Structure 1
Amino acid sequence: MDEFKLDRRLESDSDTVMQTGLCDLRLSKDARWPWLILVPRRTDVSEIFELTPLDQVLLTFETEMVASALKKITGATKINIGALGNIVRQLHVHVIARFEGDANWPNPVWGFGKAEPYTADKRDDLIEKLREALSS
């Protein structure tokens, strides 16, 4: 079995939050939206249907768990979930907290404006809150 390797673009554009049962959970470095990325630790998989049935169930469960925690922590108006993969082929699922009046509400976040980095304190605080919420 090949060893899992995270796509270099996902690695450079996000920070590690934690590992779940199936996925690497990562925080996008774009602070305009609380934006999480679930990356199943499976090699050569670019589509959800390429996962085993059990892994599909795990991904669905972990996506729901992460989305619920993100909504609770942020008080988001809406949680957007998507698995596009048009540029980064490695399977990954975006879980994004949206708020009325945010940087591009109600339009999509992709391709809008320029990414704004987190301050180290805000990034670390959000990661800690996520770890606490997902560990309880």
Structure 2
Amino acid sequence: MFVLHERLDADTAFVTDWPLCRVLLLNDANYPWVVLVPRRHGVSELHELDPADRQTLTEEVADASRRLQNHVKAAKMNVAALGNVVPQLHVHVIARFTDDPAWPRPIWGVLPTKPYDDDTLTAKVAELRALFA
């Protein structure tokens, strides 16, 4: 049974479910940023997925990256599955721009999290639901 880790639940907004992954918007207005979480119980590492799920995850990450990059006209897409803070397997898909505050470094630790206000969060979720439909 799939249960979203409480930290991911607190830091994201639900966008949609794809065949394998739950697609979430990270509540940080600093960057266009989605998180894909395979809906598999007890999985914390990529190699713990069966081969078919690994292939599906790869395709869903590529699809999310392509859609988001085209939508926001990003210069580069960063994809990461770290899991040091949240052990549940999840993949960050982050749009980057040559003029963003962290460029060309990784984003972690550069800026404090900047949550969306309620109205903007609602609008961003609707925008991404249409994008990821």
Q: Which runs of 5+ in 2 are unaligned?
A: none
Amino acid at match of 1:53: P
Q: How does 1:78-97 map to 2 (within 5 A)?
A: 78-97=76-95
Residue 130 of structure 1 is matched in structure 2 by 128
Residue 33 of structure 2 is matched in structure 1 by 35
Cα deviations across residues 92-128 of structure 1 (Å, max 9, x unaligned)?
Answer: 0000000111121111111222111113333333322
Partners of 1:52 and 1:120 lie apart in 2 by 38
Amino acid at match of 1:49: H
1:63 matched to 2:61? The reply is yes
Runs of 4+ in 1 over 4 A off after TM superposition: none
**SS at the partner of 2:53?**
helix
1:15 matched to 2:13? The reply is yes
Count of paired positions: 133
Identity %: 44
1:74 matched to 2:79? The reply is no
Partners of 1:124 and 1:100 lie apart in 2 by 27
Amino acid at match of 1:11: D
| TM value normalised by structure 2 | 0.94
| TM value normalised by structure 1 | 0.92
Q: Which runs of 5+ in 1 are unaligned?
A: none
Residue 46 of structure 1 is matched in structure 2 by 44
Cα deviations across residues 23-70 of structure 1 (Å, max 9, x unaligned)?
Answer: 110011111001100000111111111001010011011101111110
Amino acid at match of 1:12: A
Partners of 1:24 and 1:5 lie apart in 2 by 11
